[in-house]
Structures are given as structure tokens and as C-alpha cells.
Structure 1
Amino acid sequence: METDLLTPKERYSGVVFIGVRKNEVVEFIKVYAENEELARDILERFLYEKGIHPADFIVVDKGYENVEGKEIISTRTESELSSFLGRLGLRLLSNGILYLQGKKEIYQITSLSKDLLMEIKSKEELKEEPVRLGLKSLNLPPRFIEKLKALELMEDTLVINHAELPLSEVLKEAIKGAVKIPEVLELGSLKLRLFDSELHEVIKRGKEILIKPPVVVWDSYVDSLEDFEAGEIGDRIYRAPLFLKAHKGFLILREPPEELVEKLIRIKEKGSAKIKGFKVPVEFTLIVESKNEKYDLPVKIRLLYLSQEEFKKLLEEKIGVKVSGEVVEKIPKEKRTFRTASTLSKLFKRLKEKKPNARSEELLNEALVLFLGEENEGH
């Protein structure tokens, strides 16, 4: 029987391998022995001698292993195990070298701490999925879906949005996949809070967080340029700049300053941003949404005004009643947009609440008068 289990030495009936943290906490134990009974005995005595409570560890694997042709089992022969533990931040140690003396098979028991098992499971479960756009399922006029297909390239794009398509809403609906981010990104002494509950949709939590690919919006009319800087939010903890929060997703800028666009393009070209003296990798797709063509980006998408037929169909879907061609004709071309359809829909529904007995045609006509600010024939 193996004795003095904590002292490294030559052994002939059993050996113990452990994976330890930097603070010497044991998280992994693997016992090799001549048979199952001896392996269990060595494991129990090792736990006792190390002062480890058996309930804190779970046996995850056991059985005979083929060792034919091997002379010894040592930390050097267990290189794969050493690499596996290394990826988990553990160092492989043993209580000696086991001489096999011609044995063809040997019994092993592998036991992990509950904490390590939870960590491994969380890493296994948090699997990223490729980012893609499911545009075909969108309820949009066909020509808009065709135009938006250019975004599938995930290249920086200027969207000249005369149609006032709610681009961020459309992309949030269309984007598929899964992205893994840390709650706090640590680089040396730099700590950046990357996760933002207002921007990120959580799929699953583990040691890191699995999120739906983000669609982050910045509007020059209401948002601040400070959003692109690392602002201190606690003791040496900083809020991550907006472009980091858009990791592997889309960063949509509405009518941004040209200098900001140029800055982000250069950051992307470098592949990293310098934050508080540290280089932080970046990966996001930039979309500039504007009615102005002054921005120079690799891809340009022009979303022109809705046709009368497109607008008519869209408005009918929003208010749930038939819309006459005459109503649509009263709307100027530059007002035939997705935003106008939404505005008329809201006005129509509010009027219907106020006048539940009024005819739909009258309510729609009144909504149109309110929207255009002028009288229409027949009102």
C-alpha cells in the first residue's frame, strides 16, 4: 500500500496527480493505481491528508486505461493533461513517478472540485455562433431587403436613409448568432466594464457572458462624444467606449461628425484602440446613417422614398384598415417614409380612442390634416 502520499518519490502501486492554482488550492485530482479498490483508497487518504472535504470534489471519470508499452507514468508522460490544466490556469504536480513494471492496464479515478467543474461547464456551454443577418424573414418591401443584403458583408457602410427606415430596429430583428464577452475586460491594471444591460441581450451567463450580437446606436442629436471615451465609474474601473460594446456587432452612428467617423475608421484599420495606455483589440462593423453623402465608407446603400404603392401597403399594415389611393396621393414624395407611416398610425389610433364611433376614412383623413398642417378636400 502506498504511504506518505504527500512526498514525491518513486512509486510502484499508485500515484496521485493534482492541478493547483497559484495560491496552491487543489482543484483537480487524478489517481492511478493497480486496481479500483486501491485507487479509491489512495484518493480518500490523499483528501484526508490534504485536509480536503470529500464533498467538495466530484468523480467525473474512472476505469482502466491501456498502458501497454509504457514504462512509467509521470508529469512528463501526461503532457496532454498538463496542457488541459494549463488552459484552466492550473499547474500539474504529482507525488512521484509510477513504475508500471510491465502492466498492460491500470485503473484511474479523476475527481474535480465543484468550482472547477462549474467553470469547465460554463466554458463548454458558452459557445459563440457566427454573426449573420436573417433578412428574408423581415416584413419589408422586397427592394429594401435587396438593398440591405450588402450589410451581410459586415463591411463599414454608409446608409443614405431618405426612406427613414428604422435601421436599428430592423437590424436588431435580423441579426443572429452569439457573441462572448467578459463583464469586465482586464488588461494589466486596466479594467473596462464591457457588459451593458441596456445594450446587450443576454443569452447565457457563465464565467463570461454570451450575448446576442449587439446593435449599438449613437445619435449626434442626443448623445455625447464622451461615449467614445473610457469614463471612470469606480475605483480604477472604467466604462468601456461605445465601439467596444459593439463587439462583433454593428455600431450605428446617426449624422455623426466626420472627425468621429475618421477616428473610428483608423481605429479599425489598426485593429486596436489605445485606452489609458493599453492597446485594446476592436472588432465591430461601422454603419453611418445619414441623408448626406459626405461620408466616405467602403459600401454605400441608398434607401429612396417609398413608392405610393409601398407606402399604401405599409400604412394599411400599421392601422389595420384599407387606405385609398387618394389619401396616399396627398402625401408629398419626401414624406413617403417609414417614419411618416408610423406617425400617421399613432395619430389614427389616438383619434380612434377619442372618437370610437367615427368612420376609419374620416379618422385617417383627420390624421393626415394634423400631420400635413393643412385642410384637405372633403374634410
Structure 2
Amino acid sequence: VTKLWHFENNDRIQIDKVKAGDICAFAGLTEVTIGDTVVDQNDARPLPPIQVEEPTVAMEFSVNKSPFAAQLKESTKVTAVQIKARLEKECLTNLALRFEPGSTSESFKVKGRGTLQLGILMENMRREGFEFMVSAPEVLLREDPETGKNLEPYEDVAVDVPTEYQGVIMEEMQKKGGVMKGMETGAVENSLILSFEIPTRCTIGMPGKFMQRTSGTAVMTSQFSHWGEFDGTTIKLRDKGSITTGATGKATFYSILNFQQRGKFFVEPAEEVYAGQVIGLHNKDTDLAVNITKEKAVSNVRAASSSFTVALPPKIQMSIDDWLGHMDTDEVLEVTPGPLRLAKKKEIKGLK
């Protein structure tokens, strides 16, 4: 140890020694990680290491392979080497995060405690100039050493919601396989706190769904409960299909207007799109491919309706958390310092 500091108010002051109970900072040791104990060589009694819960969710981070890859001047870190170095740096301070080689030489399987933790990492990386693609979140299973059966993580979920939306929350939880454990009066008048036990895989995208169906009034919190037996059932996380574009170019007002009856859109006129990109949410549970770049045919005849102005609904704004809760297993999210784009995995060359 070469230097010692202690803290007074907001200042750090260098000192010569510290005593038991002092909060201090020091310099001079290398290769120190969280959980290590600095001990006397003649009386080595380290403290027990910090116990961190096992990861429950994984996503694959890979080099961006889309047709629009590395086109932004803000995208300064786009290679697998740079992505790996950033993940290694993150793991030094984020003890609940782990990563390992992915399905290709340019991908990495990143494991964390939930989509919120991984979403924060992705947002930080894009602000630092990283550009990459991520797969849909998947829940990690483990094997019971006694029975050999697969186990999955379960969450204790509490939803604070106005009484008028009680039925909405219970309906959504029932769809996802949640079991109600209790109900109590909330701190605010005419509100309830509903408690559920539900598999972690069924909570992906749930906070956003609750916000939509309760006009932003529901507040959901969750924490890890236990590992329970995996029954193998498939629970549909999304009840709507995707609208994709079959051509690369600029989305046109004419095309978006024509397809308004088919669903809602994530893009607006003049926005650049590429073949295979998910540009909207279909009204039905099937996927729909359209040509969103088609221009209106030009003629010399003036239409009777040409004097009328038509306004398009605004595009759906999606954050990283929104995309992680929305995307399906056959889709990948393109993360850049600028736009976020969802695409069908099979349409992106070089992805498995």
C-alpha cells in the first residue's frame, strides 16, 4: 500500500494510517477484484467472499451484420475484439454478469440476473459508440442433481395497481401461468398490491405490457424466489405478428398509408429500411411481408381527393427495454448509437 485516504464531507484527504472501522481508499495493489480482503501477512484472516445469485437470463451479443452496419460516424467500436474487451471490463465490477463464447467466433453469450440488467449494459455500450446485434432473451435452466430434471427460475412479483385495473393484471398473469399468492390494500387510496409467483421466462416484457393496459399506472417489482421444475410448456409472450419489409430503401408515405389497416408501424416516411427489417406490429398473430418503399404511381390525371391532407399516426417509439420485451425468438435487435432496429434472424446474412 503506497497511499491512504479518508473522507471528510465530499473531500478525500491523504493520511498516514487508519484504524478499525474507518472507511478509506488506498493505492498500490494490482489485480484486486470485488470481494478480495487486504490482510496482514502474519495474520491472514480474510472475510467471506460476497455471494452473488446465479444468472437467470442469457442473450447472445454479436457483431452487427445488417446492411446498415457501421454507417454512423458515432459507431466507433464495431469489432468482436472490442465487444469482448468491453464485456471483460464490465465483469470486473458487475459480479452478477458473466459471458462465454457464443455460437460463432464473432458472438458472445452474456448471462445476467434479468433483462433490466442486460438492457442497462446495452444502453451504456451504445452511448460509448458500440454497435452490435443481440438475440432474444432466453431463460437459463439447470439440472436437479438428485432427480436429473430440468429446473427453471421463479420470481415473486408484486404489482401496485389502481383497483379499476385489478382484472387486467389478473388476466395477464393468468395467461402467463402466474399463481396469485396474495392481495392487500395499497398505500394510495383505491389501489391494491397483488402478489404472484411466476416463472422468470414469463415475466419478459411484462412491465411494458402492464404500462400499456393500465395507462401507465401499474408498478411491477420482482425478485428471485426459487428454482422450480420446468414443465416444458411453451407460453406465448406476444399475441401479434410482425410486419416486415421485403425491399431496401426509404419508407414512403404512400405505402405506410396503404398498410394502416394491417397494423401499427415502427417507422415513418423517408426513414431508411432494409429487407428483413421488422417495421411494424401486425393486427393478427401471423407475420406479414410488405413493400414499404413503393412510391405512388405518377399520372397526368388530377385526383378529386388531391386537395385533402391526410395525417399519419406517429410511429411507435421503442426503447431497448421495450424491444427486449417485444422481440420473438426468430428476431435480432440491431443496437447502434443512433437507431434501434429489429430484424428477422433468417434474413441477416452471417447470423446463425
Q: Same fold per TM (> 0.5)?
A: no
Higher Rg of the two aligned structures: 1
**TM-score w.r.t. length of structure 1:** 0.21
**TM-score w.r.t. length of structure 2:** 0.22
